[in-house]
Amino acid sequence: MLVYTSIPCKEVVIINFKNIENLKKSTAIPLYYQLEKIITKMIEEGKLNPGDKLPSERKLADDFLISRMTVRQALNELVNKGKLVRKSGLGTFVAKPKLQYGLFKLTSFTEDMKKRGLKASSKILSLEKIKPFEMVKNKLEAGDSYVYRLERLRFADDEPMALEISHLKVDICPSLNRKKLKDQSLYQILADEFKIIMNHAEETMEGGLATAREAERLNIQVGDSVLLRERLTYDQNDNPVEFVKSIYRSDRYKFYISLNKDV
Ligand code: GLP
């Protein structure tokens, strides 16, 4: 059972994680991921509230009997997802929910390219049914189900723009195949054939450097800068449908955001 206490400290509340549920060291689920999930759950259940201060990395490491590096990895993930914020010299806090934070229009690659006046197309590099590794399994809530691993090279006006590795549960779109996907929008197929309407998503973006394999596919040099995007997309019923990692050529792709001071 989760046991925690809130200790008032000036204007902030420090949450004490002592006695909290233990991490399972003998499973394949990485420890940082387990800790990330525990903190996420506490935020979702209102046991950690916006403005609450987390204990130091050292304290968390002691409480959970894990290394500080593992704690840092879990906290970094949550900071990247906007669930925690770091205030320099003060510590790590539960983020205030941001109204309309990251609310941009959810588009498919095909729509995105169209908006830019470019024509999208794809080359299917592989489509296989796999037993997903733990992170994908958890994201898709896949249990023991098989998952499609779809790797596509995405073109804009016939020039490579991105490499995308998507994961989707087989049972929600059992008849997905290479033929259907050839130069057809995945989101369109999901909507038309399987009545799955992509509704909202969580996405992260970061800079990266192209590996040899990525460079070869994208027709760039090894070590050239790329934009790494990771997205978990949900359908109209709030079910996680697709987890994707995309590698975009940063010399060709610019991410556009419209900002407003009132949000
Ligand atoms: C974007 C998303 C991918 C998604 C793709 C679908 O690129 N990042 O997660 O697979 O759109 O695009 P399309 O419907 O054109 O196949």
Instruction: Give residue 166's pLDDT.
Output: 98
Claim: this prediction has a pTM higher than 0.75: no
Instruction: Give residue 28's pLDDT.
Output: 74
Mean pLDDT over all residues of the chain?
85
Per the listing, tokens 């704690």 go with: 71
Decide: 231 in ligand 1 pocket, CB within 6 A: yes
What confidence tens digit (pLDDT) does each residue in 133-166 have?
Answer: 888 999 999 999 999 999 999 999 999 999 999 9
The rounded Å distance from CA 233 to ligand 1 centre is 10
147-156 sheet: strands from edge to edge: 120-130, 147-156, 159-169, 240-249, 225-235, 198-209
pLDDT at 199 over 80: yes
| 168-193: average pLDDT | 94
- Measured over the CA atoms of residue 76, residue 78, residue 81 and residue 85, the dihedral's sign is negative
Decide: 204 in ligand 1 pocket, CB within 6 A: no
Instruction: Give residue 4's pLDDT.
Output: 43
What confidence tens digit (pLDDT) does each residue in 34-73 have?
Answer: 898 889 888 877 788 888 999 999 999 988 889 999 999 9
Residue of 145, 190, 202 lying closest to 171 (CA atoms): 145
Instruction: Give residue 16's pLDDT.
Output: 61
Give, using CA atoms, the residue closest to atom 11 of ligand 1. 108
> Distance (Å, rounded) from C-alpha 188 to C-alpha 227?
25
Ligand 1 site-directed mutation target among 153, 161, 202, 244, most atoms within 8 Å of CB: 244
Q: Which of 15-24, 83-92, 206-215 has the lowest mean pLDDT?
A: 15-24
| 128-134: average pLDDT | 93
What confidence tens digit (pLDDT) does each residue in 62-99 have?
Answer: 888 899 999 999 999 888 877 888 888 889 999 876 54
Ligand 1 atom with the shortest distance to the CA of 122: 16
Per the listing, tokens 């993930």 go with: 77
The rounded Å distance from CA 109 to ligand 1 centre is 4
Instruction: Give residue 20's pLDDT.
Output: 60
What confidence tens digit (pLDDT) does each residue in 239-254 have?
Answer: 999 999 999 999 888 8
